[in-house]
Every structure is written in C-alpha cells, then in structure tokens.
A and B are shown apart, each in its own frame.
Chain A
Amino acid sequence: MLYSKAAPGENLIIRGARVLDPTENVDAVLDVRIDGGTIAELGARLDPNAHRIVEAEGLTLAPAFVDPHVHLRTPGREDEETIGSGTQAAAAGGYCAILAMPNTDPVVDSAAVLGSLIEAAEADAELPVGFLAAITKSQEGAELTEMGELADAGAAGFTDDGRPVTAPGLMRRALQYGAVTRRPLAVHCEEPTLSRDGQMHEGAVSAELGFSGYPSVAESLMVERDLSLAAYERRPIHVLHVSARESVEAVRTAQARGVEVTAEVTPHHLCLTDEAVRSLDANLKMNPPLRAADDRGALIEGLRDGTIQAVATDHAPHARHEKEAPFEAAPFGVTGLETSFAALYTHLVEPGLIPLETLLERMSTGPAAVYDLPAPKIAAGEPANLVVLDLAASRRVEEGDFRSRSANSWLLGERLTGRVRLTVAAGRVVYAA
C-alpha cells in the first residue's frame, strides 16, 4: 500500500538524543543504532561499530510523522508538485510516509491511473507514499469506481476529497460496497447548497469584510449525515479536515455510541481563526475555511482528548500566479508538509495547549492507525522511521527554503520554534539539516 524507490537501509548511530516515543512509553536519553535500516539497539554509549555517527545531544528523537492527507498534484499539475518534490518536502517536514489524495487530472478512479502513480512512486518517491482512490468516477458523485479492483491494485483508501458525496443514497452504497475493499472510506463533509460560493467562515468577520459565508453548519450537517449512515451500515468512516465545533461534537457523540469513526484536523485550523482573513492574504484561503476562536478551541480539545486521532496537513500546492490574485479570485488551499511540526509546536505546545507527547502521537501513530499503516516505533527490530527535532531552534519561514514546488504557505515570514534536523524513513536518511 506504500510505495517508494528502492534503496538499501543505512547503518547509523544517533547519539545522545532524548528518545521520546509516547506509544512505546520511552522517554530517556539514549543512543539508537540502526543496522541496515532496522533499529537494532537502544542503549547508553553504544558501540559505533563502524556506523555513521549523528551527534544529537540536546535534541529529541521521536517516531517520524505520517501525513494522511497530501495533494501531490500528479498527474495533471506537475508544475505545482510532483511525487519527487512532494516527498522531498515531506522528508523536510519529518515525515516517513504520506498519503496522496485522488483529485488529480485525471482523477485516480481506475487501476490504470493508480498503476502509473505506483510506478512513478517506485521511481521518484523519496519516502513511502500511498494513494487514495476516488469513491465515484471522476469524483462526479454519480457512479461508484471499481473499488475492488482499485483495492487489489494498491489503493490505500477511498475518498472524493475536495468534494462531498452529495447524494445520501450513493454514500450509503459506498459504505456498503466499500466493505469488500477492507480499506478506509474518508469523507469530505460539505453540504454544497449551504457552502454555495462561500469564501470564508460565516460570522462577524465575513459580515464586515463582505465575503460570502461558508457556515459551520455546511460541514457539520454533512458530518452528521455521514455518521448516521456509517452507524446504520455498521461501517467505519474517517472524517477529513474537521473545522467546526459542531463537527467535533458530532464525532465525539458517535464514538461514544460505538460508531467506528476517526477524524483529522489541519495545522492551520489548529493555529488560526477567521480573524486572520482580515489581511485578505490569499494564502489564508482554504476549504474548509478558518473558523472562529470557539471552533479552534474545540479542535484543540478534540485533538487533546483523542476524539481527533490525526493531524493532516491537507498540503495543497498552488501555482504562484494563481494565488497572486485578489482573495476572491484565488484557489482554495495552502501548503503544510514542511512547516506542520514547527507550527504546532510553536502555537500549541509552547503555550501549553497540548503536551508534546500528544502532538507526536497525533502526527505519527494516530494517522497510521486510521489507515491501518504500520506505526513508526522507536524499538529494536522495527524499521527505522524516526525524526530528530531541535526544540530550541527557531527559524523564519522563507519562500526560498521550500522543497515543495509551491510556496503558498500561510506561515511565510513567521518565526517558528522547533526544527527538523534529521528524518529517517524506511531505514534511509531522507533529510538532514
């Protein structure tokens, strides 16, 4: 289900870092020895055994991150991102695996398109990538894709991300038939007759700026519908990029009733509110939109208490000339792969809103579990998927530093604390700084 270019695992010893793996209950200063890409030993003052040595005193070593929601723009918009550039960006962000969304041109709705992506990943992907396939043909919300064949061909899951499955009857069929795939179904929840031409969250800020509002209820109504259908069909479901308090509450209530529902949230929804849109900066335009302070509070609480299992960047690269336009004319979406940890460390961990351990879990084990991917673990015998973080270093986000082909970041010019120093993915060093 995950594909990357073949490369031999490395021999490496990382010395003196604080090893922090919340899932494995490890929190100690240790050396980590990697033999041929597999974690061989954790311990004090390990014998380098002719391995390459990385001095990591004062740094934090954790399981590498998993991003369950990335737009690689391939095929169709290779000017914005490719599998190569997107996975390099992910490596710089501390990721060891990412999942790409199928809303490309053409849409990933057939085994042929999926097969060509898998081939491309085996040639160009710096780190393991999985591909979700569409629920409906061309994501038009009319006919189911051949989900069985797509699953056999390696689809990591199914989604029409970017669009809702508008008809409830079709959503029900997707839940029913999707059972044969044994892959997660992920839903973009938006009631289009309510979001209409909405440009930002509907509230006091949109009232003042004059933008057409995209109300919270446009999301939460669809979340509630999909949860009802999932409960009725007794099928698991994953809610993409929740943004509204009412959506978090609906997910929490459904979980308490025993519905198998997971959810993800983006760094920008966790860090910003609709107040930021006052700048009219097109890099603050995304779908779902930034919501009110109360919604942000609910998202943070949902991430903290585990209602929301995963941080997902919804990395959405856009060509410069498309974002260099008045807010209303610009496309929705912002990048996020290279800044997610630092943004969340700066905005959530440093102010004490969530513990570091929780953030690490929600960026790694949490999203891996949603898609049933192997969880990155810092333990002997596990494949080396780890990130070394410098929690004392800070850096201004500059356009020139991105490995992504696009720079439509909401963080340009902001100083963030927490830098990725080393990423090891599938036993290979994919990033070092």
Chain B
Amino acid sequence: MADIRVMRDDLLPPSPSERRHLLSIADLSRDDVQRLLATARSFARSLEREMKKLPTLRGRTVVNMFYESSTRTSSSFELAAKRLSADTMSIKASGSSVDKGESLKDTALTLGAYDPDVIVIRHPQIGAAQFVAQVTRAHVVNAGDGKHQHPTQALLDLYTLQDEFGRLEGLHVAIVGDVLHSRVARSLIQALGLMGSGVTLVAPPPLLPRDVEAMGCETSTEIDAIKAADVVYVLRMQRERMQEGANYVPSLREYTARWGVTPERLRPGQKIMHPGPMNRGVEIDPRVADAADALIETQVRAGLVTRMAVLYDLLTTGPVGVRAAQLTEVA
C-alpha cells in the first residue's frame, strides 16, 4: 500500500531518471490519476496524526512562482511542501524583478540556477508552465496558466468527489457559469471524462466556447439542465477576465437572474462545488454556499493532500505518466 511506503523514514525518494511535470490533465492516464488519488488518501490519513510533518521530501526545494493573485492555491502548495519537509521559496510578481520588466525566461533561469527540484507556477498566460519546463531543469507543476489548465484543481475536485460518492465512474457533473474563461472548467472536463464521469456545461451562449462539445461533454444554455446532475459545480464569474465592451452578458444582474445557482433551482440531495473565490449573490446564492450539501470546504482540505501527492509523485519514480514537455514535431 502506498501509505506504508510514504511514511517509512528510510525510504527517501530516489532521483528520478526522467524529468516529469504536471502541465495538463491531458498528459495523465487513468492510472496516473488513480495513483495520485491513492497517494493523497494516504497523506490524508497521516495528517490525522498529531505530528503532521513527514520527512519524505527532506532536502528538496520547491519554488512557488505566482504571477497572479491566489490564496488557496499558493497557500496549499506552500503548506503541502512544508508538510513533506521540503524547503520552500515563494516569488510573487509584484515586488520582484518582474516589476522591473524581467522576462519570464530570465526569472525562470534565475530561480533555476538554485537547482530547485520543483517549480510551481501560476501565470496569466497560456503556455507559461510549459515554457518554464523548457527553460529550466526543474519538475514543473502548472498551478494555472491563463485560461488553459489548472490540473491540481481538477485532481482535488476528483478527490472530493471520490471521497463523497466512493466512485467517479458514472457520476454526472453539471458545470455552470463562465466556461469560456475558465481553466478550472477545461481541466475538470478532461479529468471527469478520463475517469468515466459525465459532464454537462451550462452557461449563457457567449460564455460557452464554440465546438467545446469535442471535449466529450454536453452543453445547455438553460439553468434547468443542472437538475439532472449528481453534482453542480459552480464556476466563478471572472469579472477580471471580462473585457470592457465584450458584452458576454448584458449585466451581472441578468446573469444572476437566469443562471445563478439558487436553492429553488436545485434538487434535494444535489451536491455543490465551487473552486473559489466565490462571488456570493452572483453565481451562487449564499444559502447554497452554506448548505450542508456544499462540498466547498472539503475541496479546500482536499487541495492540501492532493498537492502533497503531486509533489511526492513528481519527485519519486512512480510510473511515468506525466510526460516531459517537448514540442511535438509538426506533422
């Protein structure tokens, strides 16, 4: 069992022969996900003990590069690394050389010169994590790159669902809200599809990406469509990504009136998830957010153990499944 292996002090992780990264859910197999979830479960049990720190990654260095504001993700990565006894260092865009116009390449090379084992990066541009993987020798974890991917969020969501339902196969999840701008949605659609869950996207027409059905999900523009799901996953209305004059929806008021998740629109027993931070009263009614069926706090707790599992997995020689980043040859 993975939990025994993890907790043996004498079993320090061997140097991996191949650089592995977690850049996108698309790079993972079903076995990879199951392995990561099992490791996360064993970490959850270890955290029930009084002494919460594990020696597993002693002597390893984890660098967090956060180019966007973040509470949950940055704090849980930092705590995850600390729980595993790794040394951590956090760089934020404001107050660093990034403010002085340093390019991502130069910042990555500078931090890479300290030979960190893992670089965790959150960046507003698609492809930033892959780019850092190409220019440094560290294992790279994508903690969100623009509207592209947020793979550890999807993994913690799978963990939460598995914990609640005891299975992922055959679950039906409705994802509601601003799918167009959501890296959380993109990662989660892929992750749920990989594990055999069904997905329905519910959004105003301009916030549904064209041809998104090709990702293997259903779509609807009617809020009633959430009723059929086991779980309603509410996305944040990302006001910061809505450009002036883009007119995706006429107003937040109209959005809330037609697509807001309220108790009246839910069926008894439906579970509610939200990646945070919530806009209470916009995409989610406060009564829904605070209801017993909300798994939102569970998600936050799952974030810690899932990120511990990701760091552990990258630095040990688990079956290779997280591909090394490379440019695919042009066909």
- Contact for A280 among B103, B127, B183, B215, CB less than 8 A: B127
Instruction: Let me know if A207 and B209 touch, CB within 8 A.
Output: yes
Instruction: Let me know if A326 and B329 touch, CB within 8 A.
Output: no
Q: Which residues of A contact B51 (CB under 8 A)?
A: none
Say whether A380 faces chain B, with CB atoms less than 8 Å apart.
no
Instruction: Let me know if A326 and B330 touch, CB within 8 A.
Output: no
Say whether A168 faces chain B, with CB atoms less than 8 Å apart.
no
Q: Which residues of A contact B127 (CB under 8 A)?
A: 280, 282, 326-328
**Smallest distance from the beta carbon of A111 to chain B beta carbons, Å?**
38
Instruction: Let me know if B212 and A211 touch, CB within 8 A.
Output: no
Secondary structure of the A contact surface, majority rule:
loop
Q: How far is the CA of A413 from the CA of B329 in the complex (A)?
A: 8
**Smallest distance from the beta carbon of A399 to chain B beta carbons, Å?**
13
B331 (CB) vs chain A CBs: closest residue: A276
**Smallest distance from the beta carbon of B330 to chain A beta carbons, Å?**
6
Say whether A79 faces chain B, with CB atoms less than 8 Å apart.
no
Instruction: Let me know if B243 and A207 touch, CB within 8 A.
Output: no
Say whether B145 faces chain A, with CB atoms less than 8 Å apart.
yes
- Contact for B329 among A204, A208, A414, CB less than 8 A: A414
Q: Which residues of B contact A321 (CB under 8 A)?
A: 103, 105
**Smallest distance from the beta carbon of A407 to chain B beta carbons, Å?**
14
Q: Which residues of B contact A202 (CB under 8 A)?
A: 210
- Contact for B243 among A197, A206, A211, CB less than 8 A: A197
Say whether B9 faces chain A, with CB atoms less than 8 Å apart.
no
Near B by CB (< 8 A), chain A positions 311-343 give: 321, 324-329
Instruction: Let me know if B330 and A211 touch, CB within 8 A.
Output: no
- If the complex has contacts A276-B330, A413-B329, are A204 and B211 also in contact, measured as CB distance less than 8 A? yes
Instruction: Let me know if B243 and A204 touch, CB within 8 A.
Output: no
Instruction: Identify which of B146-154, B165-173, B258-266, B281-289 touches chain A.
Output: B146-154
- Contact for B148 among A210, A282, A414, CB less than 8 A: A210
Say whether B83 faces chain A, with CB atoms less than 8 Å apart.
no
Instruction: Let me know if B146 and A203 touch, CB within 8 A.
Output: no
Instruction: Let me know if A207 and B104 touch, CB within 8 A.
Output: no
Say whether A10 faces chain B, with CB atoms less than 8 Å apart.
no
Q: Which of B135, B209, B330 has the most chain A CB atoms closer than 10 A to its own CB?
A: B330
Q: Which residues of A contact B212 (CB under 8 A)?
A: 204, 207-208
Instruction: Let me know if B214 and A326 touch, CB within 8 A.
Output: no
**Smallest distance from the beta carbon of B1 to chain A beta carbons, Å?**
36
Q: How far is the CA of A414 from the CA of B331 in the complex (A)?
A: 9
Q: Which residues of A contact B104 (CB under 8 A)?
A: 325-326, 329
Total count of chain A residues near the partner, CB < 8 A: 35
Q: Which residues of A contact B128 (CB under 8 A)?
A: 326
Q: Which residues of B contact A272 (CB under 8 A)?
A: 330-331
Say whether B251 faces chain A, with CB atoms less than 8 Å apart.
no
**Smallest distance from the beta carbon of B29 to chain A beta carbons, Å?**
18
Q: Which residues of B contact A204 (CB under 8 A)?
A: 211-212, 214-215
Say whether A91 faces chain B, with CB atoms less than 8 Å apart.
no
Instruction: Let me know if B126 and A278 touch, CB within 8 A.
Output: no
**Smallest distance from the beta carbon of B16 to chain A beta carbons, Å?**
23
Say whether A289 faces chain B, with CB atoms less than 8 Å apart.
no
Q: Which residues of B contact A209 (CB under 8 A)?
A: 126, 148, 186
Near B by CB (< 8 A), chain A positions 155-202 give: 196-197, 199, 202
Q: How far is the CA of A276 from the CA of B329 in the complex (A)?
A: 9
Chain B contact residues, CB within 8 Å of chain A: 26, 103-105, 123, 125-128, 130-131, 135, 145-149, 183, 186, 209-212, 214-215, 243, 246, 327-331
Enumerate 24 A-B pairs (CB-CB under 8 Å) in ascending A order: A196-B246, A197-B243, A199-B126, A202-B210, A204-B211, A204-B214, A206-B210, A207-B212, A208-B186, A208-B212, A209-B186, A210-B146, A210-B147, A213-B210, A279-B328, A279-B330, A280-B130, A282-B127, A324-B105, A325-B103, A325-B104, A326-B130, A328-B125, A328-B127
Chain A contact residues, CB within 8 Å of chain B: 196-197, 199, 202-204, 206-213, 215, 272, 275-276, 278-282, 284, 321, 324-329, 410-411, 413-414
